[in-house]
Amino acid sequence: MEIRSYADYLRSLDDQALIALFESRSDLTAPVPSDIASLAVRASSIPSLVRAVDSLNKWQLQVLEAASLLAEPFTEKELLSHTDKSAKFVISALVDRILIYADKDGFRLPSNLREVLGNEVAALGPASAKKLKLKDLENAPAASKKVLDAMVWGPPRGAVSDVKKPNPGLAWLLDQGFVSPVNQQTVVLHREVAIHLRGNKIHKELLIQQPELEGRKVDAKSLKDASISNVTTFLRWTEEVLNFWAQQPASALKAGGLGIRDLREMTLHLGVSEDCASFIIEVAYISGLVTIDPDDRILPTHQFDIWLAQPASVKWETLISSWLITSRMSGLAAAPMGPELDRSNAALLRRTILTILESSENISPSANSLIAATQWRLPYRRTGGIAPEQIQWVIREAEWLGITGQGALSPYGRLLMHGEELASIDKDLPATVDHILIQGDNTAIAPGPLEHEMAQELDLIADIESRGTATVFRFAESSLRRGLDHGRTGDEILAFLKKASKTPVPQALEYLIGDIAKKHGKLRVGNASSFIRCEDTSLITQILKDKKVEALGLRRIAPEVMICTHDAQDAMNVLRAAGYLPAGEDSQGILLSGPRIMRAQTKARPPRIIGEFEKLEQSQLEKVVRTIRTGEKSSAKQSTLRDISHEALGSLPRTTANETLDLLTNHLRENPTKSLSIGYADNNGLVSHRIIDPLKISAGSLMARDHATGEVLTFRIPRITGVAAL
Amino acid sequence: MSDGPLIVQSDKTLLLDIDHPLSVECRRAIAPFAELERAPEHMHTYRLTNLGLWNARAAGHDAEMVIDTLIKYSRYAVPHALLVDVAEQMSRYGRLRLEADPVHGLILVTTDTAVLEEVIRAKKIAPLLGIRIDNETIAVHPSQRGAIKQSLLRLGWPAEDFAGYVDGQAHPIELKQDGWKIREYQEHAAEGFWHGGSGVVVLPCGAGKTIVGAAAMAHAKATTLILVTNTIAARQWRDELLKRTTLNEDEIGEYSGSKKEIRPVTIATYQVMTKKKNGVYSHLDLFDSHDWGLIIYDEVHLLPAPIFRFTADIQSRRRLGLTATLVREDGMEGEVFSLIGPKRFDVPWKEIEAQGYIAPAECIEVRVNLTEAERLAYATAEPEERYRYCATTRTKRDVVQELVSLHANEQILVIGQYLDQLDDLGETLGVPVIQGSTPQKVREELFHAFRTGEITCLVVSKVANFSIDLPEATIAIQVSGAFGSRQEEAQRLGRILRPKADGRGARFYSVVSRDTIDQDFAQNRQRFLAEQGYSYTIIDADDVFQGKI
């Protein structure tokens, strides 16, 4: 009883060992298992084992792979002889995670672990069914040796033109049983043979150490300069993105996320690459600074206003901390702020890379060496290792954010990793300036980071021409008009500029402001649904004062004209009711006479015809009968089967989920050909009896052939109410 | 953080604080790779462009030097991405080289096979290429030297041209410095050009571009073809060359509408070069008629399209472009770059003014109010007639008259666009009018009389926009122009920038109708000069009448 022995092993552990287990495999505590038996089931389940294996580094994984190839129970000595002496230190880590556990005979692996590690571990084929005379390998003919040389380090499968007509070298190997045919065109080298030929080792190369980081040294000053410049740039970008959308919100795609056209527009606005713009938007999104409102508009949140008012260090920390924990990878080819950006390993990957960077001070590693080190730390067997591009995304994102500067971990990144205060950022930022220089060509230059309020005011009345630590603003008719539209007067703008500028305001600019202010607002535009005009101004005055027509919301906009918020027909009705004699006017000013003939504004939608059913032809009717007959036969068969099982079983014994799993596993192992009777709950909780031939257990489900339908179905184990052998 | 004079922006602009003690030193350091974009009073704007960076590579500067310079003078930390980009762009230059080959003629050689593979697959490039010689080399049709350079530049893999220049037919030319001396900046400009092989020299009007041309000829010591805008300019070039060089009258030929002389130094007008006869440019043969060692393009910002096309075919001859403003209203700056050559010399106008080589100038915009009747007529005018209407309004006439009488004892040019307006002004002021239809002979007589002071005021159309040398003119009054043309405004100011004998300053009046598109165009027109540090003072027409100027 394997689960039993695994559970027994867990029972034998002291508290400390359990804590160590939970520390290294935190998924086991969510939710907290009810007892050791359920912990054992969970810890040996495939999803949990996958996570545990993913948390191993390359060397630990190699040792585990070697262990999986040994016959159970095995000893430490056996394991070391197949790997390296230093594997000793790794075994404890594997035992901590209970990927290896000891019983009285020696070490064992949880039963599902081999499935997690997959077929052909370390490029080794299946074991041979019969005992092989490995000594004979030394006497192999030259031709066979050549075949062996080609296959020994894998892949263990080889393609041949026809197994029936092998070449002499292969024929010898097939005869001896060292190689077996898989199908007509494929042969496989047996595991024992390969291990023997590999000199009793499993892996060609033991990756005991994390590969060294190679790179250039960055001196502390330029590292600091580069990182502070990255930090300020990123904060500025974020601010610009959100300010841009505050003025003209982008609209989200139906599927969610930002459309490519809006993204391009933003890319152009920021003057960065598309990848970079996507990333900035994503970071603002995950930090809660921007959101998609119910009308599908993408708008900054109130959080953004709070964020703006904070010192740079806090602003930066807000962005970085959301980036560190998010599972979204903006490098993936999908719309920013949209779905399909999640990768479960994203946060772990970032942490890992930053940890690697942290270990080498002031070194800017080459991308390849950083990728190698990361892949060593996170081998991710399942997917064949972490994709290098994902690692490169993290590298470039860290640089954009200023966690790194010129590729090396920045002082701020280091503080962040240690969870220390980031206030030093505020000190290292270039001092803000509180003035601008206005020049004769209608530009103003802020020769450094501008104070927030002044920057906002200038943003309103001038277009930004160049961005960076300094800002170049240009005053143009359109930008000044924007200021006036926002309620500034010409005099206010001028006064502000005179105060803000260290240099005198050029006369040409003064004139420009004056000219535009003079013209601004001369034309007034408003909404009205209808108008009422009358050459008799006293009648207009009378109507305005008439309480009976108050509901029309009339406003006099000229001596002879009033406007009304209601449409013309309503206005006429109200006026008529109040005793006036209005007449309608068309768009050309021509008097309309007679009542308006009305038409519906919507499309005609005649009702559906409900009538007799269509009569079927003779041949169709015959088909109907045949279908019914067939169905009848099959259900009769089913009910007979069900009756038989009822008689045979009476009511089913109830078993718990753990017991069920145990029973099924044993049944599968011991008498895989016999049928089982189970109780199975459907979606509504109704339990039905089924007779099944179990095939396989995977991911919490049982694959089995149902006798009633003859089909292979998937039964979820928690829904199986009980199991009994027939 | 240093306290340098330079602010490096992430959008690749460089802001130079000219009030900073290190600004002069910094300007010299960044000039080889950054393009001067604007030079107003306090902060000059330079820009890092791909062309500029490649140009610096061509002049022997490497990325490291550029990056060191930026970091050295920068006030704030330089964005790392920008430095990476600079290094990357600069490394693109020189991976392809055009070389002369004794067997195959012209060849394209690479140090990076991948790049060569990329470019030979480009649609625009393939037809220009000959046979593949080996992995790194491919033959190029010699006639396509210009075209392939243009296309490679557009692909972002500019080729370094090592194929050299033909010397042309030798002809002795020396500068004759008796009683005058070539100015330092003129010598720098000529040398900058000569070392670069081909290229454009940008100098303000009145700063002596002709002398730069003459100095370039003295370097080349070969037969020279000079292309100028019109006949008057051609004659001025001739006079100037006679005065400044060892050339004599028999060695200089004029190739224009009236004369067709081809001599060791030939001065041709754009007009005659682009004249079509039966649908073909019959005079373009001039380029081939002689083994020219140097071709000079005067006022290169006006170079017409057919000349561009022909220039592409003569890439083995040295080419010098001269202009005051490399602003082309048609946006063909890139063509000038790839066909004539990169900018070899550029200096802010105000710097030359400070050295005293051009007269200090004051720019004044006079705003006139339209009368009520005029406003109404303007409001209802057809859109295409609007500018003409407000630019030629009658009110302007009175202001011009007043201005002319205020400057009665100075040399005045009244410049405008519309002929009936000019005729009207000529009549009102009682002065002669020069326009397109004025015969060449009459024009020369009038200009001569103006130079000698016989007449003090002239009304001129756009024929006098360029290349007319009127040293003693101190006042220019502009009444209308070619819409919002920036270069025209600069050229017109240029007419009065020759240093005056008595050191007097010049005045440039631009008369503008208030609250009309005339005013909008004026703003655009002024942009180039404002960027060069000329600030406009705006006054009201009433101030003119009250003598408050």
pLDDT in tens, A95-118: 888 888 887 778 888 888 888 887
Q: Do both A323 and A356 map to the same domain? A: yes
What pLDDT is attached to residue B466?
Answer: 64
> What H or E segment, with its residue span, contains residue B373?
helix B372-380
**Which of the listed residues A539, A561, A590 is the one where a domain comes to its end?**
A590
Q: Given an 8 Å threshold on Cβ–Cβ distance, is A515 in contact with B10?
A: no
Per residue in A568-623, pLDDT (tens digit) is 888 888 999 988 888 888 888 777 766 556 777 677 776 766 655 566 677 776 77
Q: According to the model, what pLDDT value does residue B14 have?
A: 92
Please tell me the distance from the alpha carbon of residue A470 to that of residue A443, in angstroms, as a whole number.
Answer: 13
Q: Does A233 reach chain B within 8 Å, measured CB to CB? A: yes
Residue of A nearest to B6 (CA): A447
Burial of A668 (0-12, 13-18, 19+ CB in 10 A): middle
Nearest beta carbon to residue B9 from set A406, A440, A466: A466
Residues of A in contact with B533 (CB under 8 A): 440
Interface test with A, best of B2, B16, B46, B80 (most A CBs within 10 A): B80
Burial class (CB in 10 A: 0-12, 13-18, 19+), A589: exposed
Answer yes or no: is A673 within a domain. Answer: yes
Q: Tokens standing for A200? A: 């009793």
Quickly list H helices, A605-651: 618-649
Optimal mutation site among A469, A501, A523, interface B, most CBs of chain B within 10 A: A469
Over residues B122-152, the pLDDT tens digits come to: 888 888 888 888 888 898 887 788 888 878 8
Q: How far apart are CA A10 and CA A21, in angstroms?
A: 10
Strand B536-540 relative to strand B361-368, pairing: parallel
CB A313 within 8 Å of CB A425: yes
Amino acid at B373: A
Using CB atoms, which residue from B11, B17, B531 is nearest to A441? B531
Range of the domain at A469: 437-508
pTM check: above 0.80: no
Is there a contact between A332 and A345 (Cβ–Cβ < 8 Å)?
Answer: no
Name the more confident of A388 and B471: A388
Residue B233 CA neighbour count, 13 Å, CB half: 21
Q: Write down the pLDDT at residue B69.
A: 92
How far apart CA A93 and CA A76 sit, in angstroms, is: 14
Residue A94 has pLDDT above 50, yes or no: yes
Contact A468 B17 (CB under 8 A): no
Per the structure block, which two tokens stand in for A294?
Answer: 């119910």
- Which of A197, A206, A220 has its CA nearest to residue A63? A206
φ and ψ of A187, to 5 deg: -125, 160
- Domains of chain A: total: 6
Measure CB to CB from residue A469 to each of B7, B80, B537 and give the nearest one: B7
Contact list in B for residue A271 (CB cut-off 8 A) is 10-11
Structural domain contains residue A615: no
pLDDT of residue A630: 67
- CA A516 to chain B, closest CA, distance in angstroms equals 10
**For residue A652, pLDDT beyond 70:** no
Answer yes or no: do A500 and A480 share one domain. Answer: yes
Q: Is the pLDDT of residue A465 over 70?
A: yes
CB atoms within 10 A of CB A294: 5
- Count of C-beta atoms within a 10 Å radius of residue A158: 17
Nearest CA in chain A to B528: A441
CA distance A564 to B359: 65
Give the helix/strand (H/E) hosting B434. Answer: strand B433-434
* Other C-beta atoms lying within 10 Å of the C-beta of residue B21: 9
Residues A570 and A696 in one domain: no
Instruction: Indicate whether A648 pLDDT > 60.
Output: no
Instruction: Say what the alpha-carbon torsion angle B413, B414, B417, B418 is, to the nearest 10 degrees.
Output: -140
Per CB-CB distance under 8 Å, the chain A contacts of B37 are: none
Candidates A439, A477, A507; nearest CB to B43: A439
Whether A440 has its CB under 8 Å from any CB of chain B: the answer is yes
User: How many angstroms away from the CA of A280 is the closest CA of chain B?
Assistant: 15
Q: Is the peptide bond before B142 cis (omega within 30 degrees of 0)?
A: no
Query: Are residues A343 and A286 located together in one domain of the fold?
Result: yes
**pLDDT per position as a tens digit, A155-166:** 888 888 777 777
Of residues A118, A103, A20, A18, the one with CA closest to residue A64: A118
- What's the confidence (pLDDT) of residue A22? 82
pLDDT value of position A382: 64
Q: Per-residue pLDDT averaged across B397-403, rounded?
A: 89
In this structure, the answer to whether residues A350 and A442 fall within a common structural domain is no
Nearest CA in chain A to B42: A439
Nearest to B140 by CA among B178, B103, B171, B98: B98
Residues A357 and A271 in one domain: yes
Shortest alpha-carbon distance between residue B529 and chain A (Å)? 8
Cross-strand partners of A342: A328
DSSP of A440-494, one letter per residue? Answer: TTSEEEESSPBPHHHHHHHHHHSEEEE-SSSEEEE--HHHHHHHHHTT--HHHHH
Residue-level pLDDT at B341? 79
* DSSP string covering A576-607: HHTT----EE-TTSPEE-SPPPP--SSPP-PP
ipTM, two decimals, is 0.77
The residue in chain A having the minimum alpha-carbon distance to the alpha carbon of residue B365 is: A508
Average pLDDT for B78-92: 85
Q: What average pLDDT does this structure show over A54-67?
A: 85
Counting every residue written for chain A, the total comes to 726
Q: Are residues A660 and A564 in the same domain?
A: no
d(CA A73, CA B361): 99
> Closest-CA residue in chain B for A506?
B535
Residue A150 burial by Cβ neighbours in a 10 Å radius (0-12, 13-18, 19+): exposed
Task: Give the integer Cα–Cα distance in Å for A51 and A380.
Answer: 10
Cβ atoms within 10 Å of B312's Cβ, excluding its own: 19
Q: Give the tokens for residue A208.
A: 């005991």
Same domain, A307 and A421: yes
CB-CB: which of A229, A442, A515 is closest to B79?
A229
Alpha helix (H) residue ranges in B495-547: 517-531, 541-545
Mean pLDDT for B483-491 is 80
Pair A163, A190: CB distance under 8 Å: no
pLDDT band at B1 (very low <50, low <70, confident <90, very high): very low
Q: How far apart are CA A634 and CA A630, in angstroms?
A: 6
Asked if residue A147 is part of any domain, the answer here is yes
A477 CA to chain B: closest CA distance, Å? 9
What region does B33 belong to: left with phi over 0, alpha with psi -120 to 50, or beta?
alpha
Smallest CA-to-CA distance from B457 within B475, B445, B440, B469 is with B475
State yes or no: pLDDT of B105 exceeds 80.
Answer: yes
d(CA A97, CA A55): 10
More confident residue, A625 or A498: A498
**Are B15 and B9 in contact, with CB atoms under 8 Å apart?**
yes
Strand partners, B477: B414, B509
* Secondary structure tally for chain A: helices H, strands E: 29, 26
Any CB–CB contact under 8 A between A405 and chain B?
yes
* Domain membership flag for residue A571: yes
Among the residue ranges A36-45, A216-225, A603-612, B132-141, the one predicted with the least confidence is A603-612
Q: Does A401 share its domain with A548?
A: no
Amino acid at A4: R
The per-residue pLDDT for A594 is 60
Indicate whether A219 belongs to any domain: yes
Of A399, A442, A511, nearest to B538 by CB-CB distance is A511
Rounded-to-integer distance, Cα A432 and Cα A452, Å = 9
**Within this chain, do residues A232 and A326 fall inside the same structural domain, yes or no?**
yes
Whether B447 contacts B232, CB under 8 Å? yes
Residues A190 and A233 in one domain: no
Residue-by-residue DSSP string for A172-234: HHHHHTSEEEEETTEEEE-HHHHHHHTTS-S-SS---SPPPP-EEE--HHHHHHHHHHHHHHH
Rounded to whole angstroms, the Cα distance separating B541 from B396 reads 9
Interface size between A and B, measured as CB pairs under 8 A: 104
Most confident range (mean pLDDT) of A275-284, A341-350, B116-125 is: A275-284
Rounded Cα distance, A354 and A362, in Å: 13
Nearest-Cα residue of chain B relative to residue A465: B11
Task: Look up residue A329 and give its two tokens.
Answer: 């990878």
Site of tokens 């096309």: B309
**Residue A299 belongs to some domain of the structure:** yes
Alpha-helical (H) ranges within B416-464 are 419-429, 440-452
Q: Is the peptide bond before A31 cis (omega within 30 degrees of 0)?
A: yes
Here the tokens at position A386 are 């972490």
Beta strands in A485-595 (DSSP E): 530-533, 555-558, 561-564, 584-585, 591-592
Contacts of A314 (CB under 8 A, 6+ apart): A422
**Side chain identity, residue A613:** F
How close does chain B come to A506, measured CA to CA in Å? 8
**Considering chain A, what is the average pLDDT of its residues?**
82
Out of A428, A449, A468, a domain closes at: A428
Give the H or E element holding residue A704.
strand A701-706
For residue A41, give the amino acid letter.
Answer: V
**Interface residue A167 vs chain B (CB under 8 A):** no
Query: Quick one: average pLDDT of A627-649?
Result: 63
Q: Is residue A339 part of a domain?
A: yes
Which pair of tokens denotes residue A144? 């066979």
Q: pLDDT band at residue A284, thresholds of 50, 70 and 90?
A: very high
Percent of chain B with pLDDT over 70: 97
**CATH code: domain of residue A653:** 2.30.30
Predicted confidence band at A628 (pLDDT cuts at 50, 70, 90)? low
List chain B residues with CB under 8 Å of A437. 42-43
Interface touch A515/B77, C-beta < 8 Å:
no
- What is the rounded distance in angstroms from the CA atom of residue B265 to the CA atom of residue B237? 11
Which tokens hold the place of B431? 């002065």
Domain presence at residue A382? yes
For the cut 50, the answer to whether the pLDDT of residue A1 exceeds it is no
